[in-house]
Structure 1
Amino acid sequence: MAYADGIEKFVETVNNALPPDFYTYPVEQQRVLYDGLTEALPIPVPDGVRHRDETVTHQGRTARIRIYEPAGRADDAVLFYIRGGGFVIGSLHSHHSLVAELADRTGLAVVALDFGMAPENPFPGPLEDCYAGLCGTLANLSALGLGGIDPQRAVLCGESSGANMAVVLSMMARDRGGPRLRGQAVISPVLDFTRWRHGGEDAPLLSGGEMEFYTACYCPEAAQAEHTYVSPLLGGAFDGLPPAYVVGCEMDSLCVDAEKYAALLRENGTPVTYVREKGMVHAPVRARRVSEPAAEFFARYCAAVAELAGRGTRP
């Protein structure tokens, strides 16, 4: 396997800003360094995209959200984006330009779901925060300035641990009789945490030690890693889920999770498109300004999201 054009430079840039052993640093320092990637890999917010922060409540749980609207909303679907970061690092700031660009390319309103992070807020805290954000938003669209949006045309999006939560939220919505989702679009999902309780293989930008640390933070009790809502590949039910677009990256140790998930959806009658991105490392969404293949990957992703929502992307 070889890096796609520009990806080696991307890996070097990330490693310079976020050293490979960063997960051994105090958690607050990890979070500062991770948010600093926005300076190491600056990407401007597209012109005309507006955003605002809100809070919503569902069944007594309050959740933070950030709403993005493109210059001229083109359709009545809505996207929900859940960031990566191993449930431990990341923020609305760390993925701000990414979510804004998703809104711009699709012409759709996008809601970034925020959540309390581990280890302070372990499983199921982040999931319940995101589920409250999803349900609370769809139940209060007009009050949030999103009048005209169809609550049955929601698509869940996310990368890495955010892709894990997008998958699990799809299951929770089905199991709890929650929102009827139009689709799910996930990049580099981590769907079996039992592989990482004692370390594992290293890959560019995702080491076994890092995954072991994230697993311990999110699942402080070892048995939690086996829960269906943590590791869906272990005994999860894959029927009745929304149509999916699943991305695996060739040089990512989690590519096997994406492949297995796509196969299980297909076996259970769920429409799914699986894409294996050649020469790409784990969740390469930040590489879209330093790698032409990464930019093309993100353009394909946005087009697939728009298709799941029922519309085409802007040129």
Structure 2
Amino acid sequence: MNIDTFIQRFATGLDELGAFTPAAARPHYDALCAVFAPADPPDMAISDDGMAGVAVRRFTPRACLPGRVLFVHGGGFTIGSVRSHHGIAASLAEQLGREVISVDYRLVPEVDYASMLDDCQSVSEAIAPVAWVGDSAGGRLVMDLAYHCAAPPALGLIYPPVGGLDASTLGPDAPLLSRNDVLSIARSCPAALPGAAESQPPGPHSVVLSVEHDPLTPALEAAIQRWRDAGAVVDYRCASGMVHGALHAHALLPEMQNAWQDFCQALKRHLSPPRRHS
């Protein structure tokens, strides 16, 4: 598949969601993302579970290294689930060789941002992960987990929104995510997007993946430079020619697949041994 075909097919599916409320749109979004997801890796155990009162999906490779990874899905805080991001979480577990716990956190408008963060925090405390990974809105949640943690684990951030998002901080419109799309997300969940750009890094070690055509990328790249200036180690790559959401089709898009594999291998190098409970 080429990127133009993906954009056309995914955009058609997104357009159809406009006729629904967020709650009604969620199963349609899950089904749309599943169309582009790869088959489950062989010899991987996948199960739905609950941890600390929060629904999760567990991805456990057969040959599993010690230390779990927390994965937080995207979807603009209103849609997205462990089902929409099943293929991404399964691939992450396969490439890291570790169990990945994908969090099915509650969404706007049913709850506020603090409740979403609480869900992610509760699961994190239950599993003591060696890494937190999040894409898009999930990347924002991962960053805020880190800002509230004295010693965050390694971070994997995939095109997260950073800083106070307004017309002055955004790049140009791009397929699948326009400037107006971003601003509407900021209005629906303002607590998730601080008014001032982050001057301090969310953690000492971060691996970051962006895409070339995304209004979020300029602000993210500016933040990365600030984090590096503050002394953080940030391993950054930008997938050429790709768009926001292309990670769903990483198995079908060679440029996205290469960037994703590089991201996962870089994160794997940063992982520390699992922390022991006292």
TM over 0.5: yes
The counterpart of 2:179, out of the listed 196, 208, 233, is 208
Q: Is the Cα contact below 8 Å between 2:71 and 2:102 reproduced in 1?
A: yes
Distance in 1, matches of 2:221 and 2:195, equals 11
The counterpart of 1:124, out of the listed 110, 114, 119, is 114
Give the structure 1 partner of residue 152 of structure 2.
181
The reply to whether residue 272 of structure 1 matches residue 243 of structure 2 is no
Alpha carbons of structure 1 residues 72 and 193: separation in structure 2 relative to 1, 3 Å: same
The reply to whether residue 63 of structure 1 matches residue 58 of structure 2 is no
Q: Which runs of 4+ in 1 moved over 3 A?
A: 21-25
Distance in 2, matches of 1:235 and 1:218, equals 17
The reply to whether residue 16 of structure 1 matches residue 12 of structure 2 is yes
Q: Is the Cα contact below 8 Å between 1:247 and 1:258 reproduced in 2?
A: no
Q: Which amino acid aligns with 1:187?
A: I
The reply to whether residue 248 of structure 1 matches residue 210 of structure 2 is yes
Give the structure 2 partner of residue 110 of structure 1.
100
Q: Which amino acid aligns with 2:58?
A: I
Gaps of 5+ in 2: 274-278
Question: Percent identity over the alignment?
Answer: 24
Alpha carbons of structure 1 residues 244 and 65: separation in structure 2 relative to 1, 3 Å: same
Give the structure 2 partner of residue 54 of structure 1.
49
Distance in 2, matches of 1:291 and 1:235, equals 32
Give the structure 2 partner of residue 177 of structure 1.
none
Distance in 1, matches of 2:198 and 2:215, equals 21
Give the structure 2 partner of residue 147 of structure 1.
none
Give the structure 2 partner of residue 86 of structure 1.
76
Match of 2:242, SS state, is coil
Query: How big is the shift at 1:115?
Result: 0.7
Give the structure 2 partner of residue 148 of structure 1.
none
Alpha carbons of structure 1 residues 15 and 68: separation in structure 2 relative to 1, 3 Å: same
Q: Which amino acid aligns with 1:92?
A: V
Distance in 1, matches of 2:202 and 2:110, equals 33
Distance in 2, matches of 1:23 and 1:218, equals 18
Give the structure 1 partner of residue 276 of structure 2.
none
Gaps of 5+ in 1: 139-150, 175-179, 225-229
Q: Is the Cα contact below 8 Å between 2:239 and 2:256 reproduced in 1?
A: no
Q: Deviations over 1:271-296 (max 9, x none)?
A: 11121221111142112232111111
Distance in 2, matches of 1:23 and 1:156, equals 31
Match of 1:43, SS state, is coil
Distance in 1, matches of 2:146 and 2:183, equals 25
Distance in 1, matches of 2:171 and 2:83, equals 30
Alpha carbons of structure 1 residues 206 and 182: separation in structure 2 relative to 1, 3 Å: same
Q: Is the Cα contact below 8 Å between 2:209 and 2:237 reproduced in 1?
A: yes
Over the residues paired in the alignment, what is the CA RMSD in angstroms?
A: 2.5
Match of 1:294, SS state, is helix
Give the structure 1 partner of residue 138 of structure 2.
162
Q: How many residues are matched?
A: 272
Query: How big is the shift at 1:242?
Result: 3.2
Give the structure 1 partner of residue 23 of structure 2.
28
Query: How big is the shift at 1:237?
Result: 5.4
Alpha carbons of structure 1 residues 266 and 64: separation in structure 2 relative to 1, 3 Å: same
Distance in 1, matches of 2:95 and 2:201, equals 31
Distance in 2, matches of 1:87 and 1:206, equals 14
